[in-house]
Amino acid sequence: MRYRVTHITRFDTEDRVSIGMNQVYLTPRQTPNQTCEHTRLTTDPPTTTFDRRSDYYGNTVHFLSFERGYEHLEIHASSRVDVRKPVLPAPEASPPWDQIVASVCQEPCPYDFHTREMQAASPRVDDLAELIQPAARQLFPDGEPVLIGLKRLLAYFASEYKFDSEATTVSTPTSDIFKKKRGVCQDFSHLAIALCRAVDLPARYVSGYIRTRPPEGRPRLRGADASHAWISVFCGPLGWIDCDPTNNCFLGEEHITVAWGRDYADVAPVKGVVIGSGSHNLKVSVDVEPIGESTSDLPVAS
């Protein structure tokens, strides 16, 4: 499936910004199941300096500075992406999760340091082992094939947690998510990572997009899609397997991967600092359009 992805971030400030600097993760990755065929990042006003590089995890990151200031800032990212559905083995044929953990914990570790790093606590996924260990052990009993354990993890979120955009903020601790059983994709991803790491199974945070479908009989609104998040778990000889705790599924051809890291703090789509601004108003518009399906007559989301 091929998509055209448009992500527009708008900042309107109460007082004029004298200097602004931003770090931006909006360029889809190249993966075995995804090809970013074209990407472009533009801003209004134009940047004073514009730099693009790969970060520690191989994500594309842009650094933007606005030294002439602004009252309104728009960051516009557009990409064309081809996504193929990953092929997974039968869950019962996957290796036991504890066998994978034992191999990762060997000295010297047969895998790269990135894999070992994803077993440890991180800024947004604190060491919650004592709090969530009983739940983690129920999800991953000894000797169980890893994909069966991940299916149980997904079912756990589907049955026990409710999507609620009003229940949390970007800084809500993961321990609160575990207790409240409410949140959004970022929250569920952080908690799912914590549950995997509680049994030393390496897990990382993935940011991206997912194609959304309107209710039956309703038109799809242009700009009404949103950024999404899920997790990727190291499964030994199977490599990294992505699964979406918000939607109770393994990664399909409707997920578009942008970046990955230890948690949200590593790959926030847009973050930065400003000098000389009071409060500001933020608006984000995302459109994930399957190529071949025209949006010329679609209504625009407000």
CATH number of the domain residue 253 falls in = 3.10.620.30
Q: Would you state the pLDDT for residue 226?
A: 79
Torsion angle (degrees, nearest 10) of CA 60, 61, 62, 63:
-150
The helix (H) or strand (E) run that includes residue 266 is helix 264-267
Q: Would you state the pLDDT for residue 215?
A: 60
Structural domain contains residue 301:
no
Q: Would you state the pLDDT for residue 213?
A: 72
Same domain, 106 and 29: no
Structural domain contains residue 237:
yes
Q: Would you state the pLDDT for residue 185?
A: 94
Same domain, 119 and 250: yes
Q: Would you state the pLDDT for residue 292?
A: 74
Query: Comparing C-alpha atoms, which of 47, 32, 82, 79 is closest to residue 60?
Result: 79
φ, ψ of residue 2 in degrees (nearest 5): -110, 140
Same domain, 25 and 97: no
Same domain, 54 and 101: no
Structural domain contains residue 65:
yes
Q: Would you state the pLDDT for residue 217?
A: 59
Structural domain contains residue 299:
no
Query: With DSSP H G I counted as helix, E B as strand and the rest as coil, what are the percentages for the chain, rounded to 5?
Result: 25, 40, 35
- List per-block mean pLDDT (blocks of 10 residues) for the chain, which spans 302 residues: 95 90 97 96 97 97 95 96 94 97 90 92 86 94 97 97 90 91 95 96 97 65 71 97 96 95 96 82 91 52 36
Same domain, 99 and 178: yes
Same domain, 127 and 260: yes
Q: Would you state the pLDDT for residue 249?
A: 94
Q: Would you state the pLDDT for residue 195?
A: 96
Domain ranges, residue 163: 91-265
CATH number of the domain residue 12 falls in = 2.60.40.2250
Same domain, 64 and 105: no
Parallel/antiparallel/unpaired status of strands 162-163 and 49-54: unpaired
Same domain, 35 and 99: no
Q: Please name the residue that has the structure tokens 């109770």.
A: 248
How would DSSP label each residue in 74-113? EEEEEEEEEE-PPP---GGGSPBHHHHHHHHTSSS-SS-H
Q: How many distinct structural domains can be found in the chain?
A: 2
Same domain, 206 and 253: yes
Helix, strand, or coil (residue 275): strand
Q: What is the pTM of this model?
A: 0.92
